[in-house]
Structure formats: C-alpha cells, structure tokens
Amino acid sequence: MDKLLITGGKQLTGTLTVSGAKNAALPILAATLLSDKPVLIGNIPHLHDITTTLELLGCMGVELSVDEKLNIEVNSSTITKLEAPYELVRTMRSSILVLGPLLARFGQADVSLPGGCAIGARPVDIHLIGLEKMGADIKVENGYIHAKAKRLKGCSLILDQVTVTGTENLLMAATLAEGKTIIENAAREPEVSDLANFLNKMGAKISGIGTDVLEIEGVERLGVEDLHYNVLPDRIEAGTYLVAAAMTRGKIRLNKIQPKLLDAVLDKLSEAGAKITCGKDWIELDMHGKRPKAVSIRTAPFPAFPTDMQAQFTAMNSIAKGVSTITETVFENRFMHVQEMQRMGANIKLESNTAICTGVKNLTAAPVMATDLRASASLVLSGLAAEGETLVDRIYHIDRGYDHIEEKLSQLGATIRRIPR
Ligand code: EPU
C-alpha cells in the first residue's frame, strides 16, 4: 500500500485550481443510465471512486470514451446487465446510486447491499422504503437488493432523515415515474442540486432545486442530443486546502470554486483568524503568519457545517489557540482520526459524539494510519503542521477522494512525497 511522507513546518503559499466534486460526479455518472442518448460529462476529478464507477458502468455494458480534454462520453444505449456486483459495491458504497436509475428505466435492478463502513452503519432503508412507495417490489436476499417494477408511480415521500444519496436515488427514480413525486425533507447539499440540474438538462421536470421539497413531474423518457455537462467544483477539496493553509499560517488562493458553496466553512475560518477574500469564482485565505484560534463546530446537513470537513477542523483545532468542542451529528463513528492525532501529541478528549480539544503549540511527527477518506486528509494536514517527518499509511482512502493531493500540496510549497508500496 502506498504511503505519504510529509516533512512538516512549511508555510503553504500559492494558487490552486479546485477539481470537480466527487460527490456530484458519482450521482451524475449514475444518472446517465436514465437515458439512451450519449452524454458528455466534463470537470470529472481524477479519483479512484470515479474509476470504480466507470468500471461498474462498463461491466453493465455501457460504452465509455474519454476525449483529449478528459471529458467522458457515456452511452447507456448498449446496456446489457442490470446488476451492481458485490465486488464493486464493497469497495464503493455509492454504487447504490445505480439502483434508482436502473429500476426506473428498465424495471429491474440487482444491486449488492452495501455493508457498514468505517464512519458508521450507514443503512439504505430510506432509499428502499421510498422506492417501495413508488410501487417497486423489493427483496433483500443473499446480500443483494432485488428490485422490480412495471413503471414506478409518482407519490408523496417524507424522508425520515436527511440523506444525500437517498434523496439522489429517489430523485432519479422519480424522473421516469408516472405522475408527480414530491420529496419532502430532501437533502439540500449542492451536489444534490447539481444532479437535479443535470437531470433537467436531460429533459427531467424537477422544481424546488436547492430547497428541502423537490417536486418531480415524471416524463416518458430522458435524453437530448449533444448534451455536455460540467460537474460542480468540489467544496470539500477546497475546504481541505484552506484548512491546510490556515494550519501552516500561510496564504493561498483557490480558483474555479463557487465561494457560496463554502459559507459555513468560510465563517469558521474567519472566526479562526483567517482573512478571507472572495471573488465570483475564487477564494483567498491569509493567516498573516498567525496561529489559528480554536473554533467550535457542530456538523449537520447543508447549509450547516459539513461532516466531510469535521476531521480537517479537528486537526486545525488540535494546534489552535484555545479550547474547542467538535460535535458530530451525522455519522455515529466519525472520530477515528482522533486517536491518531493523539499519537502526534494532540490534546483531545472524546465524550460520546463530541471531541473536546485543547490546542497545543506543536504536533510532533509520528507514523499514522488512515481509516477513511476525510480522516486521512486530516492526518495529512496534521503532518503538514507537525515538527518532523510524518508517514501516513493506507492512503488508498485519500486516492478515492482527492485529485493528485501530493502534487497540489507540493505546488503550495509543502514537502510531501508518495512512497509506493
Ligand atoms: N441514513 C439512514 N438511512 C438511509 C440513509 C442514510 O439512516 O437510508 C443515515 C446515515 O446512516 C447517516 C445519515 O443518514 O447517519 C446521513 O447519511 P447520508 O445518506 O446523507 O450519507 P450518504 O449519502 O451515504 C453522502 C456523501 C458522504 C457525506 C454524506 C453526508 C456521497 C457519495 N457521499 O453520503 O461523503 O459524508 O453524504 O453529507 O455523496 C465523503 O465524501 O467522504 C463522504 C463520506
């Protein structure tokens, strides 16, 4: 397994371009299954999860080609298999996103049930209950979801809990259902809106985009000629680099980002002492060489503070001036990074779903192990701010969600090197 070796203590400075959002690209690629017309998708990040999704589409018989600008053309008219096998779902839970589109367009889908994962149990009951309400016949047998339906029927759905991929699966299913579907308590994450905008470009009739009530008037078929859609920028990647700069008392500029996507994160960075300046599609952060101040956070669905930035802020608070509390309300086990940070000298106490963090002046390097994507990112950030050489193991998690992380950090002046297995 590859590792990252980081020599800490360098102030990050410079300019970066933000990549396309992983969590928008994944549902958009799944949504191409709803149409028999080829679609060209741009601004797709170079990530392991994207490769897995393309592999999944490929093994269903979907034709894929990449042009010189790295746009991906997806042609689902050639589909032969309506199945997402265990071997792929096991490595990437979001494979569940093919369930809604396959069922809506072909009336059948066999998708392996995703298991638990490092950050929580992560059931998919809300996806399945919603599809059943739309008339699907669903059986879970031998670890697989077997779903059938003649044509899904529009209905009124009130989701028990805000779920991002749950909203996305039901939204995609509803586009081809007969009649109107209303999804209440829908997730408002920008990636859900990006998917909805893409579906509308394919001919879907979705209104209420960006709110927690989505109304979908089902249509007979989806697909238009010559559709080219660019994926939204990655707000979590952007947030991660901003925290890296804040932790190293640096100054960076990010291009190709929509600052609005990061309101909650930028507020907290300002509270930590960063000077934040934004333009239409860029953000600048300047710490003026100062140590960050501790900031308390509580994660919750968008527009509140994102759970996908919790680990990075825990890293920042570990070296900040003062005491902070970090409360995780979305996933029940998303503090795996804390034990590794403690090994680097962080003073963090865990009390149920809250971490109480007393900032220390310096972390000290140690060999650490990544456990999930954002935890891995937080350990890299800790390494950037620590004294000495930090070796981060199991970085395959990072390659799932960060496009060329060591190149991008090197571009900002970090000393970071991949050590191949
Ligand atoms: N939940 C249920 N039942 C369901 C669905 C969800 O109880 O049927 C619960 C989950 O267990 C969790 C909460 O609802 O406690 C929210 O989970 P959600 O379904 O929103 O998460 P997700 O859709 O599986 C997406 C992102 C995650 C991100 C979360 C929350 C993708 C591919 N993944 O996951 O991204 O943390 O929303 O914003 O969009 C990451 O990028 O590192 C990542 C984990």
CB of 308 sitting under 6 A from ligand 1 = yes
Residue 34 DSSP label: G
Whether the per-residue pLDDT at 421 is higher than 90: the answer is no
Tokens of 278: 């934004």
11-25, 83-97, 373-387: which range is least confident on average? 83-97
Q: Supply the pLDDT for residue 125.
A: 96
- Mean pLDDT, rounded, of the chain: 96
Whether the per-residue pLDDT at 400 is higher than 80: the answer is yes
CB of 125 sitting under 6 A from ligand 1 = yes
Q: Report residue 136: phi and psi, to 5°.
A: -75, 150
Helix axes 22-31, 164-175, angle to 10 degrees: 30
Lay out the sheet containing 205-207: strands in order across: 156-158, 180-184, 213-217, 205-207
Q: Supply the pLDDT for residue 274.
A: 98
Q: What is the mean pLDDT of residues 78-103?
A: 95
CB of 145 sitting under 6 A from ligand 1 = no
Between the CA of 65 and the centroid of ligand 1 the distance, in Å, is 30
Between the CA of 308 and the centroid of ligand 1 the distance, in Å, is 10
Angle at 301 between CA 403 and CA 30, to 5 degrees: 50
Q: What is the pTM of this model?
A: 0.98
Tokens of 314: 């825990």
Atom of ligand 1 nearest to the CA of 301: 38
Q: Supply the pLDDT for residue 68.
A: 82
Q: Supply the pLDDT for residue 364.
A: 96
Helix axes 125-133, 99-106, angle to 10 degrees: 20
212 confidence band (pLDDT: 50, 70, 90): very high
CB of 166 sitting under 6 A from ligand 1 = yes
DSSP labels, 273-287: T-EEEE-SSEEEEE-
CB of 123 sitting under 6 A from ligand 1 = yes
Strand stretches in 362-414, DSSP E: 367-369, 389-393
Between the CA of 305 and the centroid of ligand 1 the distance, in Å, is 14
Whether the per-residue pLDDT at 222 is higher than 80: the answer is yes
205 confidence band (pLDDT: 50, 70, 90): very high
> In a 10 Å sphere around its CB, with 0-12 CB exposed, 13-18 middle and 19+ buried, how is residue 1 labelled?
exposed
Instruction: Tell me which H or E stretch contains 228.
Output: strand 227-230
Catalytic residue among 59, 117, 155, 278: 117
117 confidence band (pLDDT: 50, 70, 90): confident
Q: Supply the pLDDT for residue 69.
A: 82
Residue 242 DSSP label: H
Please say if 117 is a catalytic residue: yes
Q: Supply the pLDDT for residue 120.
A: 84
Q: What is the mean pLDDT of residues 78-85?
A: 96
Nearest CA to ligand 1 atom 40: 308
Q: What is the mean pLDDT of residues 48-59?
A: 95
Whether the per-residue pLDDT at 15 is higher than 90: the answer is yes
Lay out the sheet containing 144-148: strands in order across: 83-84, 108-112, 144-148, 137-141
Nearest CA to ligand 1 atom 28: 308
Atom of ligand 1 nearest to the CA of 124: 8
- Residues of the chain with pLDDT > 70: what percent? 100
What is the rounded CA–CA span in Å between residue 210 and residue 194?
9
Q: Supply the pLDDT for residue 143.
A: 92
Structural contact between residues 238 and 257, judged by C-beta atoms closer than 8 angstroms: yes
What is the rounded CA–CA span in Å between residue 151 and residue 131?
11
CB of 126 sitting under 6 A from ligand 1 = yes
Cis peptide before 367 (omega within 30 of 0): no
- What are 300-314's pLDDT values in tens digits? 999 999 999 999 999
Question: Looking at per-residue confidence, does 272 or 397 come out higher?
Answer: 272
